[in-house]
Amino acid sequence: MSDDTSSRIEGFHKMEPDARLQAVARQAKLGNEAVATLADAASGQIELADRLVENAITSMAIPVGIATNVTVDGRDVLVPMATEESSVIAAVCNSAKRCRSTGGFRTSTSGPVMAAQIQLLGASDPENVRLKVLERIGEIKAICDETDPLLLKFGGGFQDLDIRVIDTAEGPMTVVHIIVDTRDAMGANAVNSMAEALAPKLEEWTGARSLLRILTNLADRRLARVRAVWPAEEIGGEQVRDDMLSAYHFADADPYRAATHNKGIMNGISAVVLATGNDTRAIEAGAHAYAAKDGWYRSMTRWEKDGDGNLVGILEMPLAVGLIGGATKIHPTAQANLKILGVKTADELARIIVSVGLAQNFGAMRALATTGIQKGHMALHAQNVALMVGAVGTEIDKVAEELKTLGKVRQDLAEGILARLRGEA
């Protein structure tokens, strides 16, 4: 955008997407090529984009690749992953292959249970408020279940109350958690509606004032767990196994390392979450908050050596994913990806996603403890750099190959190679 561009576009949200694009093009002084690129990028899904978000002008395609070799609880599954980052899908394929001989990934879950919080303020005796609310559990259940009869029909609904008195900078507050089984829905809208319906009644019963009413993404009653075993010979020997354990102990003790270690896990998790139209931010928030549950931020995974010298990996994390609601049900690509996965319930989906997270962590730790992360990234990164400097067609592979041979993937070098290929230098 140039300096004289205004961010004010009268009636923008009421326009059709095409008119919005033209208005943006005028304001941002876009050329025909940029406008055509944005229009083409919607690839026939502009109506969907317009239904999903406000002020839509186009869509942005993220590559979807398939992770192969994955066995979850004895079932082989092809896993669609939506990611723009190179090496992520290859790492899962490779890691999953290396634990096939021991049966792949074994999972368990705690059930599809979500919680919403209602903040109560101004109570002279927060503990008293806590008891007053608990006495009304029958009425609370009725209010919540009446809010979502469909959820009740599918076997979900209100389950329990958890009432906490927390210390804050402005004194104690009472926080009411309504615990709800949301079945095959992620459940944000479901529990938020219940919390909003319940809040006025809580005010009436307690004399306190309700303020915030929203789910917690720290969905620690909706846990997915996975365990897998990698024989030492599949890893590259005992030294590599032990170095991977040292890598894990580093991450578990140091938040600087843990942030990157866990980011790697989320490379896998978020890619499947996105491919299935689920909410990546919700899952990421829950994952990182859960990683800090012991009072400091640590590794989301646990790794150990078993009696036979195998490397055993464990991942337990909140995974509030659904098959109903959000973009999942209305995005045709998400629906097709769910068909590839062959899942019938949100629970099955969570089991696959947590397995991919563990596989990703194994791949990243093994790479880091051996050749380093750049070697695996090099090939695809070289291609990206070739594209960045404007290589087209067969030039892309030629530039990438030369960069790899040089062992330096740099834009200035790629520019020189491309110029030479084109006889310009």
List residues binding ligand NAD (CB under 6 A): 148, 150-151, 154, 156, 182-190, 192, 215, 217, 279, 282, 322, 324-326
138 exposed, middle or buried (CB, 10 Å; 0-12, 13-18, 19+)? exposed
Query: Please, what is the minimum distance in Å from the beta carbon of residue 176 to ligand NAD?
Result: 17
Query: Please, what is the minimum distance in Å from the beta carbon of residue 211 to ligand NAD?
Result: 17
- Residue number, 154 or 297, with CB nearest to ligand NAD: 154
Cβ-contact 148, 198 below 8 angstroms: no
- Residue number, 318 or 322, with CB nearest to ligand NAD: 322
> What is the C-alpha separation between 387 and 164, in angstroms, rounded?
54
Residue showing the smallest CB distance to ligand NAD in the complex? 325
Quote the tokens at residue 296: 């400091």
Cα 130–Cα 210–Cα 131 angle in degrees, nearest 5: 10
Phi-psi region of 340 (alpha: psi -120 to 50; beta: other; left: phi over 0): alpha
Question: Is 85 part of the annotated catalytic residue set?
Answer: yes
Question: Is 263 part of the annotated catalytic residue set?
Answer: yes
CB atoms within 10 A of CB 420: 12
**Eight-state DSSP code of residue 53:** S
- Residue number, 189 or 384, with CB nearest to ligand NAD: 189
Q: Which of 41, 40, 52, 70 is nearest to 277 (CA)?
A: 52
> What is the C-alpha separation between 137 and 275, in angstroms, rounded?
39
- Residue number, 30 or 197, with CB nearest to ligand NAD: 197
Q: Which of 50, 73, 85, 160 is catalytic?
A: 85
Query: Please, what is the minimum distance in Å from the beta carbon of residue 274 to ligand NAD?
Result: 12
Query: Please, what is the minimum distance in Å from the beta carbon of residue 327 to ligand NAD?
Result: 6
> What is the C-alpha separation between 367 and 374, in angstroms, rounded?
9
Q: Which of 148, 184, 234, 279 is catalytic?
A: 279
- Residue number, 34 or 150, with CB nearest to ligand NAD: 150
> What is the C-alpha separation between 64 and 169, in angstroms, rounded?
46
Q: Which of 97, 329, 377, 398 is catalytic?
A: 377
**Eight-state DSSP code of residue 270:** H
Query: Please, what is the minimum distance in Å from the beta carbon of residue 53 to ligand NAD?
Result: 11
- Please identify every residue annotated as catalytic: 85, 263, 279, 377
